[in-house]
Amino acid sequence: MSNDPIPDRPAVPTPVAHTPPPGPSTGVKLAAEAMGTFVLVFGALSTALFASDFGTGANGSSLGVGFLGVALAFGLTVLVGVYAWGPISGGHFNPAVTLGLAAAGRFAWKDTIGYIIAQIVGGAVGTTLIVLIGMFGPTGWLSSAQDSGFASNGFDEHSPGGFGLGAAITAEILFTAIFVLVILGVTHKTRGTANAGIAIGLTLTLIHLASIPIDNTSVNPARSIAAAIYGGVDALGQLWVFIVFPIVGALLAGFLQKALFDSRAAA
């Protein structure tokens, strides 16, 4: 036998565990929700207040964008927000959506309050800046906009088409439920689509096209609160409908999604 020493074996490197980088902080997520809701409210309600009924041209044609333009403004602003800030916060921009996602098991209930506060603040900043612009507008523009409700939601005499309370309640429940079901479907972790933002934006556009004549379309309590702040006593008096029933629709959609499509039987 050889007495030569056994050569040292090369040391085997110890595997290094790679921890994923931390996600956005809570503060950053809340800022993203506030910013997205601000863009939604500021952009869409600016369209409704400044551009929807601008007047007539020399040949008698309308210069305003009408209901179609307002509907597109809501859809486009939420689409932009989803792609810009969705990767940070999830892109809710709507208290009803936040609660619907929680009901579906897609969002932590403990985080809903912070999101909702951020959304309400973002929306209120949006309408406040519209007021600031209006202060430097034509004489009487701001007071006229406020007297007409400041694009607030409403029923009976405050409905664009004269629809009553029952119609507003039914529309808000159904259209919000549809909106939340679409969001839950297109953002599903296995069945979702990379084009979720487009689907969400087009759905919101469709909802506005169908329901602006009913109650000026809420499906978003933050949008309704933001407008009612400057819409006068009547808008504030009817605001409860556009807080309560979008939330009811969203919760129904969340629980329905969880029971039908995200249960073990559907997995």
Q: Kindly list the structural domains of the chain, giving each domain's residue range(s) and its CATH number in brackets, ordered by start.
A: 26-52+61-260 (1.20.1080.10)
CA atoms within 13 A on the CB side of 160: 17
pLDDT at 22: 76
DSSP state of 109: G
pLDDT at 146: 97
pLDDT at 243: 98
pLDDT at 54: 77
Q: Which two tokens stand for residue 122?
A: 């973002």
Classified as helix, coil or strand, 213 is helix
CB 177 within 8 A of CB 252: yes
Which among 19, 41, 37, 21 is positioned nearest to 29, based on CA atoms? 37
pLDDT at 20: 64
| Beta-carbon contacts of residue 248 (< 8 Å; ≥ 6 apart) | 172, 173, 176
Query: CA–CA separation, 176 vs 94, rounded Å?
Result: 11
- pLDDT per 10-residue tile (average), the chain, 267 residues: 58 61 91 98 98 73 87 98 97 98 97 98 98 96 96 98 98 98 95 94 98 98 98 98 98 96 68
Q: Which two tokens stand for residue 70?
A: 């307002």
pLDDT at 226: 98
Classified as helix, coil or strand, 18 is coil
Which residue pairs, CB below 8 angstroms and at least 24 apart, start in 87-91?
88/24, 88/28, 88/29, 88/32, 89/24, 89/28, 89/29, 89/30, 89/32, 89/33, 89/36, 89/115, 90/29, 91/32, 91/36, 91/197
Query: CA–CA separation, 43 vs 75, rounded Å?
Result: 10
